[in-house]
Chain A
Amino acid sequence: MAENDDRNDEADYSPQSGLSRRQFVTGLGGIGLGAVLGGVITGGLAQPASAVAIEGSEGYLVVDGHKCIGCDSCMMACSLTHHGDLSFSQSRIQITQNPFALYPDDLTVAQCRQCPFPACVEVCPTGACHVDAANGNVRTVDVGKCIGCERCVNACPFTPSRAIWNGLEKHAEKCDLCADTPFWNEKGGAGGKQACITVCHMKAITLQKDVPVQAGDVGYNVNLRTKDGSAQLNLPTGDDGFYTPAEIAAAKAAAAAAAAAAVAKVGH
């Protein structure tokens, strides 16, 4: 009947090592198996729950929706400078228009908020969506590492998602404050120029260093129409565009508290 096929076991015996080929294979498999299992078990037991603090971005795009006329120049500039192509689908800043709504609700500008606690960075399984310390901690996507899981697109708490899927180049991407614009010969990033700001002839977009006060899901309550102090700082203003110094101080305190709460959340 059937016989053992490994008739070479004896021939494979090595006087130098004292191991047969089969002993070597069995040992390799056993040691490897034990090493992986041991590493997983001890690694899981020994490693404390890690908390990584995420540095805040050094720049934030803020938009005054009251000034925006929906010309889409920012979208075309974004796509053109990043991709060399005039494609609304590839713009990281999006303008949505509702023809049935009245001014100023007929236009909504959706720009990335560079969240203090960026969900897109948190969920990325490969580190492609990351905080770029070399470019003012802007939250951006290293497209070379993106595996196309689209978790960042779905994790963004805002609608439309500020992380978008580039169906042509097959990777996720988001606003990097123009840190990487191959088709624009300007220095971008938190300390440089942004294409959308540069082309906006209504001056409806600007960059600020402080964390803006969030105003729900629709964006920031920003007034770029007046020249008073609160507008320059892009702090929240009332309908008249003016706040008292006390109100400005209160708004600053609220912004600081929100940032501190976000940092505390990361710590947990």
Chain B
Amino acid sequence: MGRRLLIGAIAAVAFVLGMVYAWRIAFADGTELLFDSGWWLVLLAPFLGVLAAGLTRRTAPVIEGDRVLRHDGPAMLEHWTHGIGTLVLLVTGIALGAFFIPSLLSQQQVWAAMNVHFIAVVVFMFGTFYYGANAFLSRKRFREHLPTKNAFKFTVEHYGHLLGNKKYDMPPEEKYFESEKIAYLLALGSTALVIVTGLLKVAAHVFDVPAWIMGVATPTHDVAMVAMGLFFVAHVLFGAILPMGWPMLRSMFTGYVSLDYAKSEHAGWVEQIESDDGEPIPIRTMEHPAA
């Protein structure tokens, strides 16, 4: 925990220093945009993420006394790099002026925001490709994000129960709520679109990319950003602002949730961990004993 805290603090300080540097050099004479001078870092970051994933050994969720390991170190790394990168990209991207919104900046502030956008792109690309390669390595981890045929039924029961409708009981959700799994598809699609169109925009700093391609890439980037922003707002609302998400937020720093919480909110997941092979168990009926 102490080691993880130290590494996290160093990474956070490095990220903040990087953003401050990026902002300040935009106001210096004779400097180039980081997208011009450091475009290659946008290519380097994904490969670094893939290599890091190849060298990473994941730790499976496990019950340890009265708590459950939910997020191992790599999960935290991929979550926070992708998440913080996304946050800074959204803020700077909107400030620069999305498709339907006028730019909030002018002159050198535009360059500064672009430079900060660049730093966030590098962090985002590392985190996203680190996650993607990890998902490629462990298909089980990827599958557990995908909605099942229970998606609609569980979501209605889950939120009906939360809203106090006594007709519903908490369904035996697995590691991720079915509603989260549906949102995951939106996040997956918008992230893929943002990356592809973003790479085209970076390529325009190096190559003579035809104008019609840029004419498609730029608004597509903006539309994907809107979808990503919607997911981000919902994610932060349910994961960090509403008290129901606080145990999970704490777990994103400590790695653990309490066993009681896990049994209450993710009964299906606890059952999976307790099963011998760790594979998803067959679909259960509502007779499952929810805590």
Contact = CB atoms under 8 A, between A and B. Distances in A.
Interface string A160-173: 00000001001000
Given A29-B50, A170-B103, A1 B64 contact: yes
A157 interface: no
B43 interface: yes
B102 to A, nearest CB: 7
A170 B57 CA distance: 47
Interface in B28-68: 32-33, 35-36, 40, 43-44, 46-55, 57-60, 62, 64
Interface stretch (B2-10, B13-21, B202-210): B202-210
A220 to B, nearest CB: 28
A39 B133 CA distance: 23
Given A145-B211, A148-B97, A2 B44 contact: no
Nearest to A3: B60
A124 to B, nearest CB: 10
Interface string B53-85: 111011110101000010010000000000000
A149 B33 contact: yes
A63 to B, nearest CB: 27
A150 B96 CA distance: 11
B97 A147 contact: no
Interface stretch (B106-114, B158-166, B171-179, B233-241): B106-114
A39 B39 CA distance: 12
Given A26-B55, A170-B103, A125 B50 contact: no
B136 A2 contact: no
A4 B110 contact: no
A25 B110 contact: no
A2 B69 contact: yes
Give the size range of B's interface with the partner. Answer: 35 or more
A144 B59 contact: no
A6 B58 contact: yes
Nearest to B278: A7
B57 A6 contact: yes
Contacts of B47: 28-29, 32-33, 35-36
B275 interface: no
Given A26-B54, A28-B50, A170-B103, A6 B137 contact: yes
Given A25-B50, A25-B53, A25-B137, A1 B205 contact: no
Interface of B: 32-33, 35-36, 40, 43-44, 46-55, 57-60, 62, 64, 69, 72, 96-97, 102-103, 106-108, 110-111, 114, 133, 136-141, 201, 204-205, 208-209, 211-212, 214-215, 218
